[in-house]
Amino acid sequence: MDRREFDVETFPGKSRDRREFDVETFPGKSRDRREFDVEAFPGKSMDCREIQCRSILTRTSGYLKPVCSHSLNPYLGCGFGISSCGEGCYVRFNRWITRGREWGSFAEVKMNAARVYLDTAASEAKWARFARGAFAIFLASSTDPWQPAETRYRVTRQILQAMRDCPPDTLILQTHTDKVLDDLSLIETLSGICELRVHISIEGDRERLPGLPPPPCTLDRRLTALETLASRNIFAVACLSPLYPLQNADAFFYRLAAIGTRAVVIDHFIEGDGTRDGSRTGQTRLPEAMARVCPESVKLEYRDRVIGIARHYLPVGISADGFAGRYRPVFPEPSPVLNTVKGFLAGR
């Protein structure tokens, strides 16, 4: 899960010509409470509310400022907060969002998000191109666009449909699940009218860490999603964020390259959770779980060693630079263990 500064949405724009687009609606009054089960955690239920938002495009600051001009969050809260990706998620420490609630126990659904996007995108695009050089949207910085609530409400889908009429210059889609493929045709269309990247969080080559809950989506399903996106010529990026201890780094990066992944982002919880020393993540169980597997993995030097391996196979973006699409090139010489890796994978 990426961890970065959250900007309160306080920049409503003036209304503009309304446009029609196809949506799947679920009528209900604002603040209507609904319960649903998180698919990966059948024993857990969430408090899910429908709300009306006044704005949806947030001008970025802090960690995200060099990445994009705006963040866009279709939901407030995240159903994946009870999974392993929620363990080290920086948002769990944001009191404005949690308001005393357990992270992962709630999701507020911004029912009018697509309409508000259409009403404000033109004015925000004008500001972004003047102040930041481009209208670039990160979807999403403090929730997962394809969390369980999306299966019911399709707010993310409605926003992507709206973007066909008013596309940003750059669109970065960040998720932890293969459910992104539910909107494959829309994403393929948008990739033809704006610069688009799909970032799928894949922390490493382990399914889970000891003492932590399972991920919201299996490793194999996320790898398959990357391969499917790449097969449609969509710029697919694997985000090792936060970086987990790897079992066989060479084999992992070779596999990512083989399925068509275009680049990797490597982001350690140190410097990656909004604090220089990783102190936010230090309050969670994540560092202890990582140390149980590999004590060296909780140090920044471990990240640097992994970067050195990854660059034999793929372009590598480091922390915020990676999320912004700025990558260090692949080394010109092949990995010294390439033949061993090929033999290892062939024998599996």
pLDDT tier for residue 320 given thresholds of 50, 70 and 90: very high
pLDDT higher for 5 or 40?
A: 40
Neighbours of 44 (CB within 10 A): 15
pLDDT higher for 94 or 203?
A: 203
22 pLDDT higher than 50: no
Both tokens of 239, joined, read 């985000």
40 pLDDT higher than 50: no
From the list 55, 108, 49, 101, the residue with the least C-alpha distance to 78 is 108
287 pLDDT higher than 50: yes
Instruction: Please tell me whether residue 77 adopts helix, strand or coil conformation.
Output: strand
User: What is the predicted pLDDT for the residue at 18?
Assistant: 33
Which region among 19-33, 105-119, 241-255, 289-303 has the lowest average model confidence (pLDDT)?
19-33
194 pLDDT higher than 90: yes
User: What is the predicted pLDDT for the residue at 334?
Assistant: 86
From the list 251, 121, 104, 255, the residue with the least C-alpha distance to 194 is 121
**Beta strands, E only, 213-252:** 235-240
The predicted model gives 30-39 an average pLDDT of 36
User: What is the predicted pLDDT for the residue at 98?
Assistant: 76
In this prediction, what percent of the chain has a pLDDT beyond 90?
Answer: 69
